[in-house]
Amino acid sequence: MARFAAAVPTEPPSRKRPKAGTSASVSISFQNCAHGPEIAAAPLRPRGRLGAVTVLALGALVIPALTSPGQAQTPGKSQDTLMEQARQQFQPIPENPPALPGNTATPAKVALGKMLYFDPRLSASHAISCNSCHNIGLGGVDAEPTSLGHRWQHGGRNAPTVLNAVFDKSQFWDGRAKDLEAQAGGPIVNPVEMGSPEPHVAEQLRGIPGYHEAFAKAFPDETDPITLANVQKAIAVFEATLITPNAPFDRYLKGDPNALSATEKAGLALFMNKGCAACHNGINVGGATYAPFGVVTKPGASLLPPDDKGRFMVTKTPGDEYVFKVPSLRNIALTAPYFHTGAAWDLRVAVSVMGASQLGIHLTPEEVDKIAAFLGSLTGEQPQVTYPMLPPSVASTPQPQP
């Protein structure tokens, strides 16, 4: 489920790099197709002085120019303008988790989902839980390039964060799961990850007496509630509670001009002016669309392995080769290493790579530091989760597989 991927959705244009002191604009439109948004974009073009960005159209979102070339502003007015422009492109994380369509959250269901999230017995080895790869105490990730799974196998991609994943339009780097409920079942039955055969999940839980009452309370209208489908529903409503409101940037969006430092504000302005916000926008500062990695310059094989073609592996559409979900940048300072390969451990390196590969620009060290400072302001209040007491196994409980 987030880290850096692509920033501006367009095929690599044939053009010269903008001169120093200029910024790039891109015209973006979305068309409907069978597998989701199809992205069409005009070539990037230098447009005036730094900070003079023309209108960006991203779906229904219209991003007006921050300033006009040569337009002078007083410091106070400039700060007001920065806040207003930020509000047009981003929204704060809410204080309370959103409702999931068709999956009503109740205290009993959330409590069950929490137990299942931490229970390693959902894995064939009884050694891996959801929290193993999406550790709530580590920003919702495992701090590994790729996660260690069943029988010491490694997953093919870096584990995205579970925090605020409820606000993403889809789950996984390739968007193969439409929501948290669909995502929750995938790793459990994946032979590389948790390795439990699908029929075994319900069998395992039925063999743990304490789960009978927990499922009955969570799904009171069902005569046989212990099913994989209900496991997914329960885990999803718990994961939906894992949100991180009140980041400094959220407080800024709500009207507190002092929530961000001068450096963070400068980084925010660069983030918008340079074009990063064309894809990394909205409530999750990303997570709302797909884009190719390597729009202008293809990164090296360590960042973009040729055998991982991203969303193409789901849709089989040629235009989706090396297209990935644009990840959320919420709590990005906590979730190293970065990219779907987990190949970059330094946030500043990731920022520089994105500038070159997605925007075709060279960011100076000072610009990188300011953007990284802004990204640090996206760290919100972390979920305070008490580790649950899990029902014990008994003699008749299915045993772990080697």
Write the DSSP string, 280-341: S-BTTTS-S-EEES-SSSPPPTTTS-TT--BTHHHH--GGGTTEEEPPP-TTGGGS-SBTTT
The reported pLDDT for the residue numbered 367 is 98
Here the tokens at position 185 are 């079942």
CA distances from 95 to 31, 242, 247, 346 (A): 33, 11, 11, 30
Report residue 402's pLDDT band, with 50, 70 and 90 as the boundaries. confident
**Mean pLDDT computed over 303-323:** 96
Instruction: Give the pLDDT of residue 79.
Output: 75
This prediction's pTM: 0.81
Structure tokens at 54: 């023309």
Of the candidates 359, 307, 308, the one whose C-alpha atom is nearest the C-alpha of residue 41 is 359
Distances from the Cα of 136 to the Cαs of 6, 114, 236, 261, 366, in angstroms? Answer: 25, 11, 15, 28, 32
pLDDT band at 18 (very low <50, low <70, confident <90, very high): very low
Q: Which of 11, 144, 193, 203 is catalytic?
A: 193
Give yes or no: 239 in active site. Answer: no
3-state secondary structure of 62: strand
pLDDT score for 93? 98
Element housing 211 (H / E) = helix 210-218
> Among the CATH numbers 1.10.8.50, 3.40.190.10, 1.10.760.10, 3.10.20.30, which is that of 107-239?
1.10.760.10
Domain with CATH 1.10.760.10 in the chain: 22-95+245-376, 107-239
Amino acid at 349: V
Q: Write down the pLDDT at residue 51.
A: 37
Whole-number Å distance between alpha carbons of 399 and 379: 41
pLDDT over threshold 70, residue 168 = yes
User: Which class would CATH give 22-95+245-376?
Assistant: mainly alpha
Contact 357, 295 (CB under 8 A): yes
- 228 — alpha (psi -120 to 50), left (phi > 0) or beta? alpha
> What was the pLDDT predicted at 37?
35
What's the burial of 76, exposed, middle or buried (CB within 10 Å: 0-12/13-18/19+)? exposed
What mean pLDDT comes out for the span 357-374? 97
Phi, psi of 87 (to 5 degrees): -65, -25
The pair of structure tokens assigned to 263 is 């450096």
Q: What is the mean pLDDT of the chain?
A: 86
> What is the model's pLDDT at position 249?
98
3-state secondary structure at position 197 = coil
- pLDDT recorded at residue 11: 38
* CA distance linking residue 103 with residue 112, whole number of Å: 14
Would you mind telling me the total number of residues written for the chain in this entry?
402
Question: Judging by beta carbons within 10 Å of its beta carbon (0-12, 13-18, 19+), is residue 200 exposed, middle or buried?
Answer: middle
* pLDDT, greater one: 301 or 35: 301
Backbone angles phi and psi of 28, in degrees to 5: -125, 140
Backbone CA torsion sign across 135, 141, 143, 148: positive
**297 CB-contact burial (10 Å; exposed 0-12 / middle 13-18 / buried 19+):** middle
280 neighbors 63 (Cβ within 8 angstroms)? no
